Amino acid sequence: MKMSTTIQQRIEELKEQLNRWSHEYYVEDKPTATDAEYDKAYHELVALEVEHPEFVTADSPTQRVGGEVLDQFQKVTHTNPMLSLSNAFSKEDLEEFDARLRKLTNRAIEYVCELKIDGLSIALTYQNGQLVLGATRGDGTTGEDVTGNVRTIKSVPLSLKEPWNIEVRGECYMPKKSFVALNESREEEGLEVFANPRNAAAGSLRQLDPKIAAKRNLSVFLYSSPSVEELNVSTQEELLEKMAEIGFVTNPERLKCQTIDEVWNYIETIAAKRPDLPYEIDGMVIKVNDFAAQEEIGFTVKAPRWAIAYKFPAEEAQTIVRDIEWTVGRTGVVTPTAVMDPVQLAGTTVRRASLHNIDLIKERDIRLEDTVVIHKAGDIIPEVTRVILEKRPETSKPYEFPTTCPVCHEKLEHLEEEVAIRCLNPKCPAQLTEGLSHFVSRNAMNMSGIGPRVIKQLFEEGLVMDVADLYKLTLDQLLALDKVQQKSAENILEAIEKSKENSLERLLTGLGIRHVGTKAAKELAQHFKTMTALQEASIEQLLEIDGLGDIIAYSVKTYFEQPSVQELIQELQDSGVNMTYLGVTKDDSAASGHVLSGKTVVLTGTLEQLTRQDAKEKLESLGAKVTGSVSKKTDVVIAGHSAGSKLTKANDLGIEVWSEQQFLDSLA
């Protein structure tokens, strides 16, 4: 009982510490802990909660990773409607707004100006200080229950310092950096990109799988509450201060103004700062500060009379498309870029704009010599919005899309599940350097000593044009490279030679087949046993592998159908690279009778005769499951030199401990 109490106390300590660090980082923007300190505490908490699930609570930082996948969102009726705002588009509109208000109340009017975040409106409900509901605005009366996704947003507190029963409202958004990174990732994967951060935020918050939402790095600014009586505040300024005090993230970029002239000056100040903000805004929200004055002024059917949203004019420009360039990315995705007459936009000169993929060009019917409107998506990425058809030349013809790679001239493929076109040639120079780096990496062919600098030189000197060329390198060629000495060159050649003995799954990993990682490579190698059998496999045969799925099966089949791939495999085989699976099959491991077959094993400390990866592979070949943390489910811990907390924990739990030598002896 005492042990349980101690463990529970430690879990509570870790939760409090991690939540405080998270608040300092995401809300206050004043981190006091390093990433390493946070990670260490977080992993300790995870391990304790795995071992003691009875102590897991909803406010634990470990619960932000996303829960069950939903079939659909449940509807939520807002107790207090989430009203929209009337819009203003000029200083005159704001002056008229001010004049109307002064006729509706005799109270002194001052305004609070807040940035209008371009995101998705949300409402958060807390009971006894615990987050119980996160909902979208919907139509203002009825929204959707997105609690699971809201819980993944690190700037949203899962619990409050006091047992408040309150509702707060604000905007969920995606920071500009996250938006750019997300679109770059989707473009590489051949997926449709998001038009702007708002769409990205909305799409992420409305994911039925919270684990996807958790990866999207969403954030919030909270700025209103129907619970002002509970919070004991009488002005908007006090409300924002109180919300920040409680632990909610509010936007510090705001200003209290006495006149519309002051409001307008602030709008102009923010408009100038807008491109440099880390999030996208589309205007300014102006609210009467005093709640008593708000009550007197009242509401229309759709909106409060005491607030208005000033909308920034769209930052757009016209120019002419002179050319469309196609570039090949790391994964073979071929991306179009419009080359245009230079034009000023959002303080910069723009000459190029992303067109993302062929579907977008088709949808907007973009042609050479077209006059187009461009804007900056998220104030960052120049993008062609539309074509001005009345300015289109009479001789204009629909754009003809490339059918061959602009670099290697191999046929381009438009895979069924993608919006992108893709070069599947593994010898394509545009993909080669990244492909080479992946091929020699530790989890693939494990050629130590061949880093990015060496690969770049090899490629630039024309010594390595595909992965097969690595096996043709000579000592003299390596010594001719910059900063490569005799010993380094010899080590590289030794690593290359040793890699020929690798099992088939390493080669499959190194080839960089789309959607085929180390796990899928192992499954394919175990099932088909030889490269020839895999090359000849049909879609139906590939799908026989449990859990492989249509996407991987189609990707593998498409890859091996390429003549250039077949040529590459033959070159590798001629160089002496092993083409068979050398590990133990699943049937063999089950029948091996090894003492570790079917056991859960943890590796800890420094191994002297094996690398950690080699040891893991040997264990898996025996049919053992290798995990990263010690728990009651662990059967054996293999401890090397300087084993630390995992060994201590294993001893405390009475788990069997082996030395590295014991493990090696068991293999004899």
CB 468 within 8 A of CB 571: yes
Residue 379 CA: distances (Å) to CA of 175, 179, 347, 664: 11, 11, 10, 59
Four-residue CA torsion sign, 455, 461, 466, 468: negative
Residue 626 pLDDT greater than 80, yes or no: yes
What would you report as the CA-atom Rg of the chain, rounded to the nearest whole angstrom?
30
Question: In terms of pTM, does the model score above 0.75?
Answer: no
pLDDT, tens only, 528-583: 999 999 999 999 999 888 767 788 888 899 999 999 899 999 999 999 999 999 87
Residue 357 pLDDT greater than 90, yes or no: no
Q: ∠282-286-289 over CA atoms, to 5°?
A: 150
Q: Which has more confidence, 375 or 254?
A: 254
For residue 269, give every residue at least 6 positions away whose Cβ sits within 8 Å of its Cβ, in sequence order, or none: none
Residue 205 pLDDT greater than 90, yes or no: no
pLDDT, tens only, 519-530: 789 889 989 999
Tell me the pLDDT band of 27, cut-offs 50, 70 and 90: low
pLDDT of residue 253: 95
Alpha helices in 319-428 (DSSP H): 358-364
* Percentage with pLDDT > 90 across the chain: 41
Residue 309 pLDDT greater than 70, yes or no: yes
CB 402 within 8 A of CB 335: no
**Catalytic annotation, residues:** 116
* Sheet with 120-127, edge to edge strand ranges: 130-136, 120-127, 166-173, 219-224
- Alpha-carbon gap, residue 292 to 289, rounded angstroms: 9
Tell me the pLDDT band of 69, cut-offs 50, 70 and 90: very low
pLDDT of residue 65: 58
CB 581 within 8 A of CB 529: yes
Instruction: Point out the least confidently predicted range of 57-66, 440-449, 603-612.
Output: 57-66
